[in-house]
Every structure is written in C-alpha cells, then in structure tokens.
Amino acid sequence: MTAPSDKILKMTLPKGRIQERVLSLLGAVGLEFKTGNRSYRPSSSDATVEAKILKAQNIPALIHLGRHDCGFTGADWVYEQQADVVELLDLKYDPVQIVAAIPEDLLNSEANPFKNKSKQIIIASEYKRCTEDLIAKHQLNAIYVRSYGATEAFPPEDADIIVDNTATGSTLRMNRLAIVDEIMRSTTRFIASKEAMANPWKRERLDELVMLMEARLRAKKRVLLEMNVSEAKFQTVINCLASLSMNSPTVSNLYGQSGFAVKVAVEVQKVPQLIVQLVQAGATDILEYQLEKIIP
C-alpha cells in the first residue's frame, strides 16, 4: 500500500566517495537502501522514505527549491549555492579545506599573483562564490573561470590561481602547487528544506533520524569496558576512570564474593593506555565491547 504524499520523506543520497559511509550510518539506524549499478533510485526498507542519488553539488539547491525534503551534502556546497536550508546534523564525515593555491615556484617570486596585483590574472575553480570571496579579500584583479574537475591541472598555462578542496594537500603537492590561503572548512551535513520542517509528520521523522544518527556517531567514538575489582583495589581503579568516562561508572556487587563489577564507556583512542593503567591499579577480567548507539 502506498503512503499518502504528505507522509513520504523524499531523501537525497550523495553520489561518490561519501555515499558508502552515509548508507552505512543510515543502515545502522534502521534505514537500509539497495542500490543498483546504474539506478539512481535505490529501494528503501521503509515504505515512507523515497531516495534518489544525486551529486552532492546539486543537493543543496534542489532541497532549497523544495524538490526534496532532506539530504546529505558538504557545507561547502550549501555555502557556495547560498541554499536556504535547515542544517540538522554535522556528520563530521569527509573533512576538507577550500583553499587557494598557486605554483610553488611563484611563492617567493615577484610574479606571485598575491603580490603583483597590477596584472590581470585568471582563477580557476568549481567554487564561484568562494573565488569571489578570495578576490574581494585580497583585492585581486582577476577573472573567474569555472573548472569541471581536475582543477589542479590548470596552472600555470591556464590559470594563475586555483580554488579547490583538499583533504590532505597531497594532490596539490603532486602538481607542484602551494596553498596560500584557506577560505573555509567543510564536512558532510544532513540538511532539510524549510517546507519539510513545517510539516509536522516530516519534522517528527527528521527529528527521529537525527536523534538516532547522533546516537550512532557518538557510539563510534567510544567503547564499553567491563571489569572486576576487589574491595581493596576499588578506589584506585575508580580514580583511574574518573576523568575518562562519560558519567560515573556503573558499579554492582559480584555474586557470591567480595568485590565489584564495573562498567564504563570511554573514548576509543584512550583505551590502550587506560587498560594498562587499570591492570596496574588492580582491575581483572577486563572486557571491551563495541557500542551501537549512545543516547544521553
């Protein structure tokens, strides 16, 4: 049976490298999609959710126009398109910088376009608005040329400066380009249209999704440690945990013997050092569990 149109959540999923992580996150909160090799309309495990796969660059404008209710895209593309949308959640996925770069051999040269502003220059980028910000900030005499991928290939023959996104800077370095300015930083965001947020049913569904995704993202950063502690060593072990746990550890008496069972959720990166400290403090039978969701 088909749900009424006002009770269908129209979701956009990003095409490309971030898609797998987004689908994994949604699957972990009970919303699974089956994608085909050539289909842009994956089937959903929830009959009230319809999805379409689009390039992240196209998602903000289409949600702004009300063509879709919600979707996943980079903060850079929301800013670039000045999309009037509601940001629901920063997933922290795919962190990148939007930077300006020039050929590295011009860094200390008088031909550096940031030093010699009398000459008209060309700036190549997929980011028109970010480029305009750069031009205004440095008062450059520049012409903007839109690139369609492989922006790093433009200098020096076809552009004096490029504005591009980078995660590590390795591609820029491979092409002998040096970063001279950072324009903004971006991560993957979950956004919604204002129309969807004004619909009580859709807003409730979106709020539920955000709560569950936040719980999953929170859980990925922590593990649950469980251990046994004798009465004599109890306070020493608790002191080890005091500054590392989310809240006070959960403590219960061991059945049929003196001592305690202690449970605590701690940050993943602190676990190796903490386990050594716990053993030295007298904890025994230490178990480590992966967490699925944490809801404060």
Q: Are 19 and 94 in contact (CB under 8 A)?
A: no
Q: How many residues does the chain have?
A: 296
- Would you say residue 26 has pLDDT above 70? yes
- Would you say residue 1 has pLDDT above 50? no
Q: Model confidence over 94-150: pLDDT tens digits?
A: 999 999 999 999 988 888 889 877 789 999 999 999 999 999 999 999 999 999 989
Delineate the domains of the chain, giving CATH numbers in brackets.
5-92+187-219 (3.40.190.10), 96-185 (3.40.190.10), 222-290 (3.30.70.120)
Q: Are 123 and 135 in contact (CB under 8 A)?
A: yes
Q: 263 φ, ψ to 5°? A: -125, 140
> The tokens of 176 are what?
């002998």
DSSP code at position 171:
H
What rounded mean pLDDT belongs to the chain? Answer: 92
Residues 6+ apart with CB under 8 A from 222: 246, 265, 266, 267, 268, 291, 294
Q: What is the mean pLDDT of residues 160-184?
A: 95
Q: Model confidence over 7-20: pLDDT tens digits?
A: 899 999 999 889 99
- Give the range with max mean pLDDT: 42-51, 84-93, 241-250: 84-93
Taking the C-alpha atoms of residue 25 and residue 91, their distance in angstroms, rounded to an integer, is 10
- Would you say residue 38 has pLDDT above 80? no
pLDDT band of 5, cuts 50, 70, 90: low
Q: Are 1 and 42 in contact (CB under 8 A)?
A: no
Q: Model confidence over 186-236: pLDDT tens digits?
A: 999 999 999 999 999 999 999 999 999 999 999 999 999 999 999 999 999
Question: Parallel, antiparallel, or unpaired: how do β-strands 222-229 and 177-186 relate?
Answer: unpaired
- For 32-167, strand residue ranges (E) read 33-34, 43-44, 49-55, 70-74, 86-90, 96-103, 121-125, 142-146, 161-166
The pLDDT value recorded for residue 276 is 92
Q: Model confidence over 222-275: pLDDT tens digits?
A: 999 999 999 999 999 998 887 665 567 889 999 877 899 999 999 999 899 999
Judging by beta carbons within 10 Å of its beta carbon (0-12, 13-18, 19+), is residue 78 exposed, middle or buried? buried
Give the 3-state DSSP-derived string for 234-256, with helices as H, strands as E and coil as C.
HHHHHHHHCCCECCCCEEEECCC
What is the torsion angle, in degrees rounded to the nearest 10, for the CA atoms of residue 221, residue 227, residue 233 and residue 235?
Answer: 40
- For the chain, strand residue ranges (E) read 9-15, 33-34, 43-44, 49-55, 70-74, 86-90, 96-103, 121-125, 142-146, 161-166, 177-186, 188-192, 222-229, 250-253, 260-267, 284-290
Task: Look at residues 288, 282, 284 and name the one whose alpha carbon lies nearest to residue 234.
Answer: 282
